[in-house]
């Protein structure tokens, strides 16, 4: 059995166990469950980190060459982002949503497992690093905004009346902040991809399915920014847009690779 695959499977298992603890916390509000959940998530993150290192050593390059490799990095960053927000803000319920997303994505990426391989000719470029790092940061931050937006809806339905509105505003504030952070990276992701494509194939834009879907995603978040910052749309409406935006991210990342053949087909 390959070590990095086992490590990533362990990370998936720990994230799953941590999710169970956090969901149980939402029901029973026991502090013990919270501590256990965080501990399990921490162990999962360590396993995830080790899996990334093992994969890098096995492949001879940073783990950015396939959907499985990129997925490992994305799940890792989602959990890191969650730890950062969790330290700064008291939103314990967020753990249930973020860790659920992390284990579900880890499970999905495990099903796309490929043995470590050297880079194919198209990926042998310094642009690979810039392109994929911006993708990991943008997608990781947008996953966080998705988790928080779903938390917002959960609070709208099940939150305690005493501080419901204030907590919802705080969550909305963090969703805004996260999308504001992610958007320049999402832009940079498209820009680096376009510049690289121009250099590799002589065309910065071909309406390839991946390019088209990255544009759709960018448009959704641009509409979010205009609606929230200028048109002063209601929080409820923009939180819905944040959820839709991340669903588009997931389709851009996973759906396009699996369903729509194009220049990124190697990623599958």
Q: Which is nearer to another protein, 30 or 234 (CB)?
A: 234
Q: Which is nearer to another protein, 100 or 235 (CB)?
A: 235
Q: How far is the CB of 135 from another protein (least distance, A)?
A: 14
Q: Which is nearer to another protein, 113 or 204 (CB)?
A: 204
Other CB atoms within a 10 A radius of the CB of residue 266 amount to: 12
Please tell me whether residue 250 adopts helix, strand or coil conformation. Answer: helix
Q: How far is the CB of 202 from another protein (least distance, A)?
A: 4
Contact 220, 244 (CB under 8 A): yes
Q: How many CA atoms lie within 13 A of 21 on its CB side?
A: 20
Where do contacts with another protein occur on this chain (CB under 8 A)? 117-118, 120-122, 124-125, 127, 168-170, 172-177, 180-181, 183-184, 187-188, 191, 194-195, 198-205, 207, 209, 212-213, 215-216, 219-220, 222-223, 226-232, 235, 256, 260-261
Q: Which is nearer to another protein, 39 or 243 (CB)?
A: 243
* Gyration radius of the chain's alpha carbons: 19
Q: How far is the CB of 257 from another protein (least distance, A)?
A: 13
Q: How far is the CB of 233 from another protein (least distance, A)?
A: 9
Handedness of CA 6, 9, 15, 20 (dihedral sign): negative
Contact 95, 38 (CB under 8 A): yes
H helices, E strands: number in the chain? 9, 0
Q: How far is the CB of 215 from another protein (least distance, A)?
A: 6
Handedness of CA 14, 17, 22, 28 (dihedral sign): negative
Contact 24, 99 (CB under 8 A): no
Q: How far is the CB of 52 from another protein (least distance, A)?
A: 22
> What is the C-alpha to C-alpha distance for residues 84 and 77, in angstroms, rounded to an integer?
10
The CA dihedral of 146, 150, 156, 160, to the nearest 10 degrees, is -110
Other CB atoms within a 10 A radius of the CB of residue 154 amount to: 16
Q: How far is the CB of 154 from another protein (least distance, A)?
A: 17
Q: Which is nearer to another protein, 104 or 188 (CB)?
A: 188
Q: Which is nearer to another protein, 37 or 245 (CB)?
A: 245
Q: Which is nearer to another protein, 111 or 121 (CB)?
A: 121
């Amino acid at each position: 059995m390959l070590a990095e695959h086992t490590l990533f499977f362990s990370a998936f298992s720990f994230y799953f166990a941590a999710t169970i603890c956090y969901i149980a916390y939402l029901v029973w509000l026991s502090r013990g469950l919270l501590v256990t959940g965080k501990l399990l998530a921490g162990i999962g993150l360590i396993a995830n980190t080790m899996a990334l290192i093992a994969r890098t050593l096995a492949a001879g390059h940073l783990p950015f060459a396939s959907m499985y490799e990129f997925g490992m990095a994305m799940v890792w960053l989602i959990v890191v982002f969650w730890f950062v927000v969790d330290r700064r803000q008291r939103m314990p319920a967020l753990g249930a949503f973020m860790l659920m997303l992390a284990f579900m994505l880890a499970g999905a990426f495990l099903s796309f497992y490929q043995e470590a391989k050297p880079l194919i000719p198209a990926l042998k470029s310094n642009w690979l690093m810039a392109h994929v790092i911006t993708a990991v940061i943008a997608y990781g931050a947008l996953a966080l905004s998705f988790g928080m937006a779903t938390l917002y809806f959960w609070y709208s339905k099940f939150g305690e009346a005493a501080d419901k509105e204030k907590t919802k505003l705080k969550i909305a504030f963090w969703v805004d902040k996260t999308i504001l952070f992610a958007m320049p990276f999402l832009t940079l992701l498209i820009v680096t991809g376009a510049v690289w494509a121009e250099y590799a194939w002589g065309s910065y834009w071909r309406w390839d399915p991946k390019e088209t879907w990255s544009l759709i995603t960018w448009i959704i978040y641009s509409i979010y920014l205009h609606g929230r910052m200028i048109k002063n749309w209601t929080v409820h409406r923009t939180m819905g847009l944040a959820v839709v935006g991340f669903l588009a991210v997931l389709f851009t990342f996973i759906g396009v690779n699996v369903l729509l053949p194009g220049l990124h087909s190697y990623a599958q």
